Chains A and B, each alone.
Chain A
Amino acid sequence: MTTLIVALAVGAILFGVGLYGALSQTNLVMIMMGVEVILGGALVNLVAFWRFLHPEAYSGQMFVLIVMTVMALDMAVGFGVATGRFRARGSIEMEEARDLKG
């Protein structure tokens, strides 16, 4: 059980670091990196629960794979927005992106 606690602790640390990164940065790319780290913490938690509580079920593994796919799509959309934003304004600073508000 100690290894489960360790894994959960690593996941919590990753989540905290990602959250701090996402909240403290103003650059869009940096914010997305923070979000990736948060998701990485969540993945560690999912893998740990699957491995130490129900190793006979495949649904945990499937869930991890789906979350990874969603992360990839998330990045693709985010970088698409960043590229478009840079072409249009020459900057991806989120402090200057208030005009995106509807």
Chain B
Amino acid sequence: MIVAALIILGPLAAAVLILALRRLAPALALLGAGVSLIAALFTLSRVANGAAYSATLPGLPGLPLRLVAEPLTAVFAALVAVVGFFVMVYAVGYMRGEGGLVRFFAGMSFFVAAMQALVLAGDWVLLLAAWELIGFSSYLLIGFWFERPGIAPAASRAFLYTRSADLGLYAAIFVLISQTGTSEISRTLQAGGAAAVAAGLFLLLAAMGKSAQTPLHGWLLDAMAGPTPVSALLHSATLVAAGAILLIRAFPLLPPAVLVVVGVVGGLTTLVTGLTALAQRDLKRLLAASTASQYGLMLLAIGAGVPVAALFHLLAHAAMKSSLFLGAGVFQHASGDSTELADLEGMGRARRLTFLGFVIAGLALAGVPPLSGFWSKDAVLAATFVSPNAWLLAPLALAGTLLTGLYVGRALRLLWRGEGESEPVAGERWMGAGLAVLVVLAATLGLAMPPVAGLLGAELSEETLLVAAVGLVAALIGLALGWALPTGRLLGPVYGLAGRGFRVGGGFDGLVARPALGFARALDVFDRGIHAGVLAVGGFGLALARVADTMSDGIHAGVLAVGSASLAVARASRVIDDRGIDGLIDALVRGTRDLGARARELQSGLVHRELLLAAAGVALVFALLIAGSVGS
């Protein structure tokens, strides 16, 4: 279990150390992510051999925090660790020459640690805490360049959207805990009946916010304002994945009625955001819309009742989408820090090696065999075809596949055509290393699917040749059309709408921003009320103070009177003192002085006169003696 704890503690310690030392940030972040990676792979291998870990930590009274390493969570932890580590390697190169490295790498490490805590959480309280922490750290990272125009609002928008949807998670957890009396996830999943329906819908709301499902997908495109490694991490394995991970873990809870809703939401999202992706003029925004579309496919698979297909697609998508973002980051640096498709024209020709990686990942995303995306998408398609609601879900999934091919083809065309000029890129080796590993993963992850399915003990839907062929044909048609035709002709009248991300009726901001602002305004009024109350109390206090002041003045006058009376007495006694005692003493002094003056006259300093006086004195004594002797 200590090893499993290291998965979380590695990056967390790295974040703390970076903030404390404020130097060597890239090295420390790499070290933390590396520790996490090794621990996650080790845990996965142990779990694959039949071990299961769980730890109970002290938490809220009666609701202890639990960490669980079972097959599902171990697979997720390994995914997060792998993507986190290689994105961190890439980021070392990408962020070369940027300021604020301490902030960036501390945020990234903390982000990874929070995400690991989320996937390993064994109870709802810890999961909720981690859920909030990834929202918070993604807010910090999206707003990393907060001094540039438009970035801070984008970060706030992302935070507000996900935060509002988080209310669903709070409500779901409340329902589950009050229904089952425990916060342990595995036990709450056995709840049934109305509680399961309510909790399932609330969980879906939370997942929609985090995974950017329609109609809450607007924030994801704006979140592209952050540095590219952040986008890669955000989209592949962490923030956006959290929603799908939540639904996959909570799948046993979901009753069929909720599953249909999940599938419809996913299908709608894959359509809407697929069209949005087609109309984007910015490479990173295109990739962002595609992320939402792919998560829509995962929700489709969950809605079809085969969560393991969603899990596969999540794994494959993590590798593919992080590769695509990392490639986009290289193009961005090579074109002088722009991600506009117009600026990136022909960049593929100028940077062929990076473009090769980008093409592999893109084809994998579109679902071309034998790359990983083919297998995972095939699993999703197969799941929708055999589900009870196949008439509804299967066309949506097929449309999603077609759209994926379209926008991938379009992106490749735009990057390949035209003459691009490439600038030298700093830190290219680091970026190349991170990108290469993830591209290899994106290409070969299909091989890992049977063992993972065996590990999870889950049954995949039976793959028929027909489904695979239909999916492949849809993908290839999409790719061909996307490569051949300009988007404007393809989309026709919905082009403008798609470009704005389908913000009909003033935008989906109305669903989130306006209520939030209204709530804020209500709070403001409340605040003003409190303010007025405080002011009234203050005025009363002031009046009281004034009364006290008057009283104090009276006391002051009384004290003054007493003081002047005693002053008069003192003055009288001083007069007596002066005239009486002082006079007496003065007289005494004067008398003594007079006497002294007279005595001084005798002391003439004339020897013979003083001799005469002495002789006269002796004569007097003599005369007295004689008179005495005569008398007796």
Residues on A facing B (Cβ under 8 Å) = 19, 22-26, 28, 31, 94-95, 97-101
Contact A94 B606 (CB under 8 A): yes
Chain B positions 587-612 with a Cβ under 8 Å from a chain A Cβ: 603-608, 611-612
A–B pairs, 27, beta carbons within 8 Å? A22-B608, A22-B611, A23-B608, A23-B611, A23-B612, A23-B615, A24-B608, A25-B608, A26-B608, A28-B607, A31-B607, A31-B608, A31-B611, A94-B606, A94-B607, A94-B608, A95-B606, A97-B605, A97-B606, A97-B607, A98-B604, A98-B606, A99-B605, A100-B605, A101-B603, A101-B604, A101-B605
Report the bound CA distance from A101 to B604 in whole Å. Answer: 8
Report the bound CA distance from A98 to B600 in whole Å. Answer: 13
Chain B positions 574-632 with a Cβ under 8 Å from a chain A Cβ: 603-608, 611-612, 615
Report the bound CA distance from A94 to B612 in whole Å. Answer: 14
Complex A-B, nearest 5 residue pairs according to Cβ-Cβ distance, in ascending order: A101-B605, A98-B605, A94-B607, A23-B612, A23-B608
Contacts of B603 in A (CB 8 A): 101
Report the bound CA distance from A32 to B604 in whole Å. Answer: 19
Report the bound CA distance from A31 to B615 in whole Å. Answer: 14
Report the bound CA distance from A25 to B603 in whole Å. Answer: 19
Report the bound CA distance from A28 to B615 in whole Å. Answer: 18
Contacts of B608 in A (CB 8 A): 22-26, 31, 94
Residues on B facing A (Cβ under 8 Å) = 603-608, 611-612, 615
* Nearest-Cβ distance from residue B434 to partner chain A, whole angstroms: 112
Report the bound CA distance from A75 to B607 in whole Å. Answer: 16
* Nearest-Cβ distance from residue A89 to partner chain B, whole angstroms: 14
Contacts of A25 in B (CB 8 A): 608
* Nearest-Cβ distance from residue B145 to partner chain A, whole angstroms: 101
Contacts of A28 in B (CB 8 A): 607
Report the bound CA distance from A101 to B607 in whole Å. Answer: 10
Contacts of B615 in A (CB 8 A): 19, 23
* Nearest-Cβ distance from residue B626 to partner chain A, whole angstroms: 14
Contacts of B607 in A (CB 8 A): 28, 31, 94, 97
* Nearest-Cβ distance from residue A8 to partner chain B, whole angstroms: 15
Q: A interface, by DSSP: helix, strand, loop or mixed?
A: helix
Contacts of B612 in A (CB 8 A): 23
Contacts of A98 in B (CB 8 A): 604-606
* Nearest-Cβ distance from residue A19 to partner chain B, whole angstroms: 6
* Nearest-Cβ distance from residue A32 to partner chain B, whole angstroms: 10
Report the bound CA distance from A101 to B603 in whole Å. Answer: 8
* Nearest-Cβ distance from residue A102 to partner chain B, whole angstroms: 9
Q: Give the residue name and chain of the A residue nearest to B619 (CB).
A: A19
Q: Give the residue name and chain of the A residue nearest to B605 (CB).
A: A101
Report the bound CA distance from A26 to B603 in whole Å. Answer: 17
Question: A23-B608, A24-B608, A95-B606 are known contacts; what are 13 more A-B pairs with Cβ within 8 Å?
Answer: A22-B608, A23-B611, A23-B615, A28-B607, A31-B607, A31-B608, A31-B611, A94-B608, A97-B606, A97-B607, A98-B604, A98-B605, A99-B605
Q: Give the residue name and chain of the A residue nearest to B600 (CB).
A: A101
* Nearest-Cβ distance from residue A27 to partner chain B, whole angstroms: 10
* Nearest-Cβ distance from residue B622 to partner chain A, whole angstroms: 12
Contacts of A19 in B (CB 8 A): 615
Contacts of B611 in A (CB 8 A): 22-23, 31
Report the bound CA distance from A47 to B168 in whole Å. Answer: 146
Report the bound CA distance from A65 to B612 in whole Å. Answer: 28
Report the bound CA distance from A98 to B610 in whole Å. Answer: 12
Contacts of A23 in B (CB 8 A): 608, 611-612, 615
Q: Give the residue name and chain of the A residue nearest to B618 (CB).
A: A19
* Nearest-Cβ distance from residue B604 to partner chain A, whole angstroms: 7
* Nearest-Cβ distance from residue A76 to partner chain B, whole angstroms: 18
Contacts of A100 in B (CB 8 A): 605
Interface centre among A24, A94, A97, A99 (most CB of B within 10 A): A94
Report the bound CA distance from A23 to B603 in whole Å. Answer: 17
Q: Give the residue name and chain of the A residue nearest to B607 (CB).
A: A94
Q: Give the residue name and chain of the B residue nearest to A96 (CB).
A: B606
Report the bound CA distance from A14 to B408 in whole Å. Answer: 161
Contacts of A95 in B (CB 8 A): 606
Q: Give the residue name and chain of the A residue nearest to B603 (CB).
A: A101
Report the bound CA distance from A95 to B607 in whole Å. Answer: 8
Q: Give the residue name and chain of the B residue nearest to A35 (CB).
A: B611
Report the bound CA distance from A95 to B608 in whole Å. Answer: 9
Report the bound CA distance from A100 to B608 in whole Å. Answer: 14
Contacts of B606 in A (CB 8 A): 94-95, 97-98
Contacts of A97 in B (CB 8 A): 605-607
Q: Give the residue name and chain of the B residue nearest to A38 (CB).
A: B615
* Nearest-Cβ distance from residue A75 to partner chain B, whole angstroms: 16
Contacts of B605 in A (CB 8 A): 97-101
Contacts of B604 in A (CB 8 A): 98, 101
* Nearest-Cβ distance from residue A101 to partner chain B, whole angstroms: 3
Report the bound CA distance from A97 to B605 in whole Å. Answer: 7
Interface centre among B603, B605, B607, B611 (most CB of A within 10 A): B607
Report the bound CA distance from A9 to B615 in whole Å. Answer: 19
Report the bound CA distance from A72 to B521 in whole Å. Answer: 126
Report the bound CA distance from A99 to B608 in whole Å. Answer: 15
* Nearest-Cβ distance from residue B553 to partner chain A, whole angstroms: 68
Interface centre among B603, B604, B606 (most CB of A within 10 A): B606
Report the bound CA distance from A7 to B612 in whole Å. Answer: 26
* Nearest-Cβ distance from residue B625 to partner chain A, whole angstroms: 16
Report the bound CA distance from A20 to B615 in whole Å. Answer: 10
Q: Give the residue name and chain of the B residue nearest to A20 (CB).
A: B615
Contacts of A101 in B (CB 8 A): 603-605
Q: Give the residue name and chain of the B residue nearest to A24 (CB).
A: B608
Interface centre among B603, B605, B608, B612 (most CB of A within 10 A): B608
Contacts of A94 in B (CB 8 A): 606-608
Report the bound CA distance from A94 to B615 in whole Å. Answer: 18
Q: Give the residue name and chain of the B residue nearest to A30 (CB).
A: B608
Report the bound CA distance from A96 to B612 in whole Å. Answer: 17
Contacts of A26 in B (CB 8 A): 608
* Nearest-Cβ distance from residue A96 to partner chain B, whole angstroms: 10
* Nearest-Cβ distance from residue A22 to partner chain B, whole angstroms: 6
* Nearest-Cβ distance from residue B293 to partner chain A, whole angstroms: 126
Report the bound CA distance from A31 to B608 in whole Å. Answer: 8
Report the bound CA distance from A99 to B604 in whole Å. Answer: 10
Q: Give the residue name and chain of the B residue nearest to A28 (CB).
A: B607
